Amino acid sequence: MAYLFTSESVSEGHPDKIADQISDALIDNFLAFDAESKVACETLVTTGQVILAGEVKSNTYLDVQNIAREVIRKIGYTKSEYMFEANSCGILSAIHEQSADINQGVDRASKEEQGAGDQGMMFGYATNETENYMPLALDLSHALLIELANLRRENNEIKYLRPDAKSQVTLEYSDDNKPQRIDAIVISTQHDDFDEEATMLAKIKTDLVGILIPRIKAKYPQYAHLFNDQITYHINPTGKFVIGGPHGDTGLTGRKIIVDTYGGKGAHGGGAFSGKDPSKVDRSAAYATRHIAKNLVAAGICDEILVQVSYAIGVAKPTSINVVTYGTSKVNLTDGEISKKVEAIFDMRPYFIEQRLKLRNPIYSETAAYGHMGRTPKTVTKTFSAPGGLTKTVEVELFTWEKLDFVDTVKSAFGL
């Protein structure tokens, strides 16, 4: 029997995502000037206020207030009527030095034996239902908000948009787990004030269905066949949405972990990513398991896969590696046997994850909105500034865990 599945996304202007982006901007700046920095930075945003807290072990000093303001400005909180504005918001820093008790479990005389920065389990997932091996409902949810942000910045076809927004897409799947059509789309977008609420709601719905949706279909032609005249649209279903962003809802780092990963498909170990340097396996091992999952599906091992890894704090070797192929395996091996081959191909000790995926680079700001997975790998040049006029320009690879660079190795190991 056909069934429905739903995923959601939130925009870069959502309060929780503002917090994530500030935390990851701090990570990037620390790593740019000291690649061995150990950082765990949490951010809270609310009406007119930003609070930074966390632990750092680094040889560099940063103007954290200026970094936070730059992030807020780039997102688009630049008007006083938003009640949260880049130049005027108060910023309190309560960042202190990392616990020596934690650090002794991570640093080792031999870098290869670097211990895991925490205990826990991490998951990576991939499916061949999209070109980027991501769940389709989440991919569409992200796409809607990326294009909505483009419309906001263009300030041309739609002039009343504000930074805060959420989306949700419900897909109908066939009995054989193939997406057939879009059943429902939910979009709530913050907007400027209107004189009359009924007029406002009608215009926003007309604009989003008549301008945003056609742009999505044109930009992502591979999804155009999923759109139909029977889609149920819920556009700003609560009505007026003028009060938004941190003035409407307090934001915290790490509260959008399902948006950040697979939209409810697969599984999640519970650990957030943003604000954590790669010694924290919550982040690095989640990227590594996604890398494994994507390369296995791309190599033709299976149509869908979930990869789990787990660690003990301070211990380099994982306590377990497990693979689930949901009955879609194309090779004559059990999931347990596939797990053993994965363990032999991919060294999952933290140091080797960092090296394989080049994680000790300032590559994290770009991950902090619209998902950490399913993104396009690319090389960019970034420039960072520190107090005293010090600047540093670096060329880095973004989203290395999305590279299909182990497909041939996987095929060879599985005799394909």
What DSSP letter does each residue of 189-231 carry, written as one string?
A: EEE---S-HHHHHHHHHHHIIIIIHHHHHHH-GGGGGG--TTP
pLDDT of 41 over the 60 cut:
yes
pLDDT at 103: 56
pLDDT of 218 over the 80 cut:
yes
C-alpha distances in angstroms, 214 versus 35, 145, 209, 217, 224?
A: 44, 14, 8, 5, 9
- Are 265 and 326 contacting, i.e. CB atoms less than 8 angstroms apart? no
| Percent of the chain with pLDDT strictly greater than 70 | 97
Residue 181 is assigned to a ligand binding site: no
Residue 249 is assigned to a ligand binding site: yes
The pTM assigned to this predicted structure is 0.96
C-alpha distances in angstroms, 154 versus 54, 159, 160, 161?
A: 36, 8, 11, 10
DSSP state of 149: H
Task: Give the pair of three-digit tokens for residue 223.
Answer: 């999804």
Residue 240 is assigned to a ligand binding site: yes
pLDDT of 107 over the 80 cut:
no
pLDDT tens digits, one per residue of 259-276: 999 999 999 999 999 999
User: Which of 266, 375, 274, 397 lies closest to 323, judged by CA?
Assistant: 266
pLDDT of 256 over the 90 cut:
yes
Averaged pLDDT, 98-105: 58
- pLDDT-derived band at 117 (thresholds 50, 70, 90) equals confident
Averaged pLDDT, 374-401: 95
pLDDT of 224 over the 90 cut:
yes
Averaged pLDDT, 186-214: 95
pLDDT at 114: 84
| Percent of the chain with pLDDT strictly greater than 90 | 90
pLDDT at 110: 65
C-alpha distances in angstroms, 15 versus 124, 253, 363, 366, 385?
A: 26, 9, 22, 17, 26
Angle at Cα 160 formed by Cα 158 and Cα 164, nearest 5°?
105
Q: What is the C-alpha to C-alpha distance for residues 260 and 149, in angstroms, rounded to an integer?
A: 18
pLDDT at 162: 98
Residue 172 is assigned to a ligand binding site: no
The region, left, alpha or beta by phi > 0 then psi within -120 to 50, assigned to residue 266 is: left
- pLDDT-derived band at 113 (thresholds 50, 70, 90) equals confident
Angle at Cα 374 formed by Cα 42 and Cα 316, nearest 5°?
60
Task: Give the pair of three-digit tokens for residue 319.
Answer: 């306590």
pLDDT at 111: 73
pLDDT at 292: 98
pLDDT at 99: 62
Residue 276 is assigned to a ligand binding site: yes
Residue 74 is assigned to a ligand binding site: no
Query: Could you give the strand order of the β-sheet that contains 161-173, starting from the edge strand earlier in sequence?
Result: 3-10, 161-173, 179-191, 232-235
pLDDT of 183 over the 80 cut:
yes
Averaged pLDDT, 397-410: 98
- Are 152 and 204 contacting, i.e. CB atoms less than 8 angstroms apart? no
pLDDT at 105: 54
Spell out the residues 6+ positions from residue 380 whose beta carbon is closer than 8 angstroms to its own.
395, 396, 398
Spell out the residues 6+ positions from residue 349 whose beta carbon is closer than 8 angstroms to its own.
112, 113, 114, 316, 317, 318
Residue 98 is assigned to a ligand binding site: yes
Spell out the residues 6+ positions from residue 182 whose beta carbon is closer than 8 angstroms to its own.
140, 169, 170, 171, 172, 226, 227, 228, 231
User: Which of 18, 35, 32 lies closest to 70, judged by CA?
Assistant: 18
pLDDT of 75 over the 60 cut:
yes
Residue 229 is assigned to a ligand binding site: no
Averaged pLDDT, 319-328: 97
pLDDT of 416 over the 90 cut:
no
Task: Give the pair of three-digit tokens for residue 6.
Answer: 């739903």
pLDDT higher for 124 or 114? 124
Residue 55 is assigned to a ligand binding site: yes
Residue 164 is assigned to a ligand binding site: yes
Averaged pLDDT, 157-172: 97
β-bridge pairing 120-127 and 304-311: antiparallel
pLDDT of 230 over the 80 cut:
yes
β-bridge pairing 179-191 and 232-235: parallel
**How high does pLDDT run on average in the chain?**
95
- Are 282 and 121 contacting, i.e. CB atoms less than 8 angstroms apart? no
pLDDT of 104 over the 70 cut:
no
pLDDT tens digits, one per residue of 45-69: 999 999 999 999 999 999 999 999 9
- Listing DSSP states for 251-303 in one string gives EETT--HHHHTTTTSS---S---TTB-TTSHHHHHHHHHHHHHHHHHHTTSBS
- pLDDT-derived band at 106 (thresholds 50, 70, 90) equals low
- Our measurement of the distance from residue 373's CA atom to the centroid of its chain's CA atoms, rounded to an integer in Å, reads 6
Domains defined for the chain, CATH in brackets? 3-9+135-243 (3.30.300.10), 120-128+278-413 (3.30.300.10)
pLDDT of 389 over the 70 cut:
yes
Residue 272 is assigned to a ligand binding site: yes
Residue 126 is assigned to a ligand binding site: no
DSSP state of 66: H
C-alpha distances in angstroms, 339 versus 333, 350, 381?
A: 10, 18, 37
Averaged pLDDT, 25-34: 97
- Are 289 and 309 contacting, i.e. CB atoms less than 8 angstroms apart? yes
pLDDT of 203 over the 70 cut:
yes
Residue type for position 408: D
pLDDT tens digits, one per residue of 333-382: 999 999 999 999 999 999 999 999 999 999 999 999 999 999 999 999 99
